[in-house]
Structure 1
Amino acid sequence: MRKVIASVYITLDGVVENPAWSAPFFNDEAAKFARAQLFAADALLLGRVTYQGFIQAWPSMTDEDGFAEKMNSMPKYVATTTLDTPEWNATFLADDVPAAVTELKQQAGGDLLVYGSGDLINTLLEHDLIDELRLWTHPVVEGTGKRLFSESSPKKTLQLIGTTTFSTGAQVLAYAPAAPAGR
């Protein structure tokens, strides 16, 4: 069974929108972590906004490490009800996204990696479809912007399963769903 791994850049105050603030904290350590994460995945699972941002940037990118080639060649599953012409190896999940992701998880293969896509992450959390949530926490207070969790986000208890600290002060905090009490 495949795992859904959600990986999101976030500020200390929970902002995930337009993560230009993350650039000063990205170094060789973070690049190595990001590469390992991407290469463990067989496909990307994206929300519409993230997909549209990525499709503007990634198809023209190249690098010597193979990261761009992997990003550009892997299948992408996109949660959208407004787009109708898939590009960039994409398949649109337009109707029942939780059912579609449940079906994808049951297929053989590597991880399904979610980048950004806050609304999609909240939907997947609500339906217990995220196996690991990796918060790339940056020592920045942005003040304004879209936050990952809102007042309408589903209540979930998670357990910390790992931390990775980079010399820049950024950390990846990895969480998994907490086991129900008594287990």
Structure 2
Amino acid sequence: MGKIVISENVSLDGVVQDPTGEDGLGRGSWFTCVGDGGREAWAKVEFEEALSAAALLMGRRTHEWFVARGWGSRDGAWADRLRALPKYVVSSSALDGPEWTRSTVVPAEEIPKLRQEVDGDLVVYGSGRLARTLAEHDLVDELRLMTYPVVVGAGERLFGETSAAKPMRLVDTRTVGESLVLLTYRPV
């Protein structure tokens, strides 16, 4: 049985929107506030996570974001690993534009079945709407928050209203570089 792992970059105030400043939030690139050393340490952690993943689970917009930034043709071990992983794209419509190898569209209602079929971690990158849906339906087995030392002050946050409280237990903390903190939680 698979384990659904939400892996997100978040600001101190929980913002996940527009970390690179490309999407028009108008708050700049909060992702780069940690400098080159911090981003190198972040990339190492992300690569390790990709190596341990069995598959990626993402929303259509996140899939399109990766494709638009050339992840399907980039060089390097991290890009090679992401290309090799099966990618399950949660969408109610077919994918438009260029493909990313091993991508399959799945409707949201198929996620519990997919979780049963995949042996290992199904890692969710980005995909804020999908992350909220998974949490609402108690399908999150682990939450990994790479926390950036900045209060963005506006933007889409990882979690909004839920139908009930979703208690989590902190299972690990890890300093990444000089100013990032990776917080790992599991449902109680």
> What TM-score do you get using the length of structure 1 for normalisation?
0.87
CA contact (8 A) 1:131 1:176 kept: yes
Give CA deviations for 1:113-137 in whole Å, capped at 9, x if unaligned. 1001111011111111111000111
CA contact (8 A) 1:10 1:136 kept: yes
Residue 152 of structure 1 and its aligned partner are, at CA, apart by: 4.5
Instruction: In structure 2, list runs of 5 or more residues that go unmatched.
Output: 21-29
CA contact (8 A) 1:43 1:77 kept: yes
Distance 1:153 1:166, change over 3 A: farther
> What TM-score do you get using the length of structure 2 for normalisation?
0.84
CA contact (8 A) 1:2 1:111 kept: yes
Partner of 1:13: 13
Partner of 2:39: 27
Supply the distance in 1 between the matched residues of 2:17 and 2:178 (Cα, whole angstroms).
Answer: 21
CA contact (8 A) 2:136 2:162 kept: no
CA contact (8 A) 2:60 2:95 kept: no
Supply the distance in 1 between the matched residues of 2:139 and 2:162 (Cα, whole angstroms).
Answer: 18
Residue 77 of structure 1 and its aligned partner are, at CA, apart by: 0.6
Distance 1:158 1:2, change over 3 A: same
Partner of 1:2: 2
Partner of 2:23: none
Residue 108 of structure 1 and its aligned partner are, at CA, apart by: 4.5
- Answer with 21-30 or 132-141: which moved more: 21-30
Instruction: In structure 1, list runs of 5 or more residues that go unmatched.
Output: 179-183
Partner of 2:171: 161
RMSD, aligned CA: 1.8
Give the % identical residues. 41
Letter in 1 for 2:7: S
